[in-house]
Amino acid sequence: MGKVQAPSGTRDFLADDLRRRRTAIANVSEVFERYGFDPLETPAFERIEVIAGKYGEEASKLLFKILRRGAHESSGQPDLALRYDHTVPLARVIGTHGSKLPSPFKRYAIGPVWRADRPQEGRFREFTQCDVDTVGSTSPLADAEIVRAIADGLGALGVARFRFLVNSRQALRGLLEVYQVAEGRGDGVLATLDKLDKIGVQAVAKELVDERGLDVSTAEHLTEDVAADDPDLLRVKLSATERGQQGLAEIDSLLELAADLGGRVVFAPRMVRGLDYYTGAIWEVEAEGYPGAIAAGGRYDGLVASLGGPDAPACGGSIGIERILAMQDAWESEPHGLDVALTVLGGEADLMRLAGVLRSNGARVGMFLGASRKLGKQLQWANAQHARFTVLYGPEEQDAGEVTVRDMESGEQTRTPLGNAASHLRELIDR
């Protein structure tokens, strides 16, 4: 039978990778816990009616849908779908558990989601999302807590140099008011402005005319204003409308509540998030050495309701943890070796008992499980296991009631009574 692979776009995590991922995730979780966020874990799949139609048509094609079972399997119809993100399940949980949840509900979720994207370098069909959200508070403190939790989370992931680019959906809407862009065109215009980094000033201005219905002069001036990325310019313009002032206040409140983060949080008028659902302060994180944004978020007061939950204000953020982990994969990883390797040349019951004592003291202990009785071969195995110490217990040692302990780095060997071997090894390990 041929070599069968994991499904396209998925990965097997073997020990080294998995340990690194687990450590990273534990570190981020610990940060979120410090902020009083609680963990939440939802099922891998949801009823299809909870998920379908929530993400738009394009995304809908990327759902992994689960066939009905038993007599209904032949219908070819799905009734469940693997979760596509952690946000729709969050909205569902709030609907399901309602009053059992604290208010505001501060939760984090770190776990796999599934999207049938075309697999490519660095993009997977099963990947981990790392979300933190507060539902049920309109306080700017809630927004600031998210930003600070994400900043600390990035620090815990070893990302050293990063900046939060902050803007506000209200500020952007205010700017559109200054240019008398019709309310109904706002979302489309912002979606186009979001492409500045991708397609450049001229193409954006052209798209604003061709597809969003702005006149040429408005399109050009608006694009220039955003592209200039000049906070002072925007402050002047935005002060002209109430909405603009409101947006500035959102931005300034976030800047003030993060003032002690040492200039890591800045007003960036050019940062436009194209997603319709944002309603207040929005932000993205750029980091040295990483292309694109490695974290993003904002306030989305209408989203929970639109996803089937109750009408509740909310804000949140997400760390692109897969990209950060991929960077870490390039680091050399410390092999996770054995503290003690036991070679086996007879005396199995004695060795098993010794292993038991060592393990109950917390040591990582392996025994040679192969068929060979050649010491050389067994020492090779101990080496491959990155063992710090190896125990030899050949016929001569057995007769003497002793073991030989070999320091695998120095090659130094010492003899010690079998009954004393566990505490002797414990001392060596702790040294």
Residues at the binding site are: 85-87, 115, 129, 133, 273, 277-278
Q: Does residue 160 bind a copy of itself (CB under 8 A)?
A: no
Interface of this chain with a copy of itself, residues 334 to 353, rule: CB under 8 A: 336, 338, 344, 348-349, 352-353
Interface of this chain with a copy of itself, residues 390 to 419, rule: CB under 8 A: none
Using the rule CB under 8 A, which residue among 160, 199, 233, 384 binds a copy of itself? Answer: 384
Interface of this chain with a copy of itself, residues 286 to 315, rule: CB under 8 A: 308
How many CB atoms within 10 Å of residue 247? Answer: 24
Interface of this chain with a copy of itself, residues 225 to 264, rule: CB under 8 A: 256-261
Q: What is the dihedral of CA 85, 88, 91, 96, to 10 degrees?
A: -110
Q: Does residue 126 bind a copy of itself (CB under 8 A)?
A: yes
Using the rule CB under 8 A, which residue among 23, 39, 210, 233 binds a copy of itself? Answer: 39
Rounded-to-integer distance, Cα 163 and Cα 148, Å: 12
Residue range at the interface with a copy of itself (CB under 8 A); choices 43-51, 174-182, 195-203, 265-273: 43-51
Residue range at the interface with a copy of itself (CB under 8 A); choices 181-189, 217-225, 231-239, 364-372: 364-372
Interface of this chain with a copy of itself, residues 80 to 99, rule: CB under 8 A: 80, 82, 92-93, 95-98
Rounded-to-integer distance, Cα 250 and Cα 150, Å: 18
Residues in contact with 124: Cβ distance below 8 Å, sequence separation at least 6, in sequence order: 9, 10, 11, 322
Residue 273 token pair = 């998030």
How many CB atoms within 10 Å of residue 330? Answer: 7
Using the rule CB under 8 A, which residue among 84, 114, 164, 393 binds a copy of itself? Answer: 114
Residue range at the interface with a copy of itself (CB under 8 A); choices 101-109, 197-205, 209-217, 407-415: 101-109
CA torsion sign for 281, 287, 290, 295 is: negative
Gyration radius of the chain's alpha carbons? 29
Q: Reduced to 3 states, what is the DSSP secondary structure of residue 91?
A: helix
Cα-flanking dihedrals φ and ψ of residue 390, to 5°?
-125, 140
Using the rule CB under 8 A, which residue among 56, 58, 99, 100 binds a copy of itself? Answer: 100
Q: Site mask, a copy of itself, residues 173-212, x = CB under 8 A?
A: ----------------------------------------
User: Residue 269 in contact with residue 228, Cβ under 8 Å?
Assistant: yes
Among 360, 355, 362, 350, CA closest to 418: 350
